[in-house]
Amino acid sequence: MIKPRRWAWVGIVALSVLLVTGCLLRPANPNQITYRLPTQITVAVGHEIPGTTIRFESMGEQGAYLRIQGQQALKRKGDSVNWKGNPLPGVAVELKLRVAWYTAEELYLVGTAKVVVDEIHPQMAKIETLSPIKYSGPVIYNVNKGATIPGATWTYEGRTEEGAKLGGIEGYPYRAVGDSIFWEGKLRERVYIRLDLRALQFDDKGLRVGGIVTVWLGP
């Protein structure tokens, strides 16, 4: 874990990230979903950033030594560490990170993760949460009446006297403003998702929800 004396610097970076991220990018393709999420990653010496080919090799007097594209790279606090690739079929990830801190044992990175998942078929399922490739952050969705909450199978059916009515849900389907909407399942094989949302506002035309999405890739 990052020690308290390091949180001031990390907090400034994380706050800057949150101000420009945390929303769902809405592509024209309904079978594709894109997230841009703030992320914090800790890498043990001798290991790679999960899902990438970037390895933290050692720490020296000048800074942290990484192996990037087969070459040694010296990185100091505030330096960029970027990566783009496909950790799974149908999944593209772009990491834009900065070195927050390092010790002889661990490297701490903060920044953003852009995750694009193609050919999605959301379904409720038991999710796999042990994968080291994990991204999480805030999202806000505006869901039109009759439309599906992005990444889930539930729809917004409209305003009623009992509250916002959700379609496709088992059990009590109504939510008042401030009530939770919790859904978990998978977007496609080996891509798992958890939505921990709250109903923020609704009317006859649409529902606005906000909260946290967490995505696991693999194993």
Q: To which residue do tokens 């967490």 refer?
A: 214
Q: Could you tell me the pLDDT band of residue 29, with boundaries at 50, 70 and 90?
A: confident
Of all residues in the chain, what percent carry a pLDDT higher than 70? 87
pLDDT tens digit string along 51-76?
Answer: 999 999 999 999 999 999 999 999 99
Nearest alpha carbon to residue 117 among 146, 90, 143:
90
pTM of the predicted model as reported, rounded to 2 decimal places = 0.85
For the chain, give the mean pLDDT: 90
- Distance of alpha carbon 116 from alpha carbon 10, whole angstroms: 26
Domain boundaries, the chain: 4-117, 123-217
What is the pLDDT, as a whole number, of residue 198? Answer: 98
The β-bridge partners of 96 are 82, 112
| Secondary structure (H, E, C), the chain | CCCHHHHHHHHHHHHHHHHHCCCEECCCCCCCEEEEEEEEEEEECCCECCCCCCEEEEECCCCEEEEECCEEEEECCCCEEEEEEEEECCEEEEEEEEEEEECCCEEEEEEEEEEEECCCCCEECCCCCCCCCEEEEEEEEEEECCCECCCCCCEEEEEECCEEEEECCCCCCEECCCCEEEEEEEEECCEEEEEEEEEEEECCCEEEEEEEEEEEECC
Please give the backbone phi and psi of residue 136, each rounded to the nearest 5 degrees, phi first. -145, 145
Q: To which residue do tokens 């199978």 refer?
A: 153
Please give the backbone phi and psi of residue 45, each rounded to the nearest 5 degrees, phi first. -60, 140
pLDDT tens digit string along 148-167?
Answer: 999 999 999 999 999 999 99
| Secondary structure (H, E, C), 146-185 | CCECCCCCCEEEEEECCEEEEECCCCCCEECCCCEEEEEE
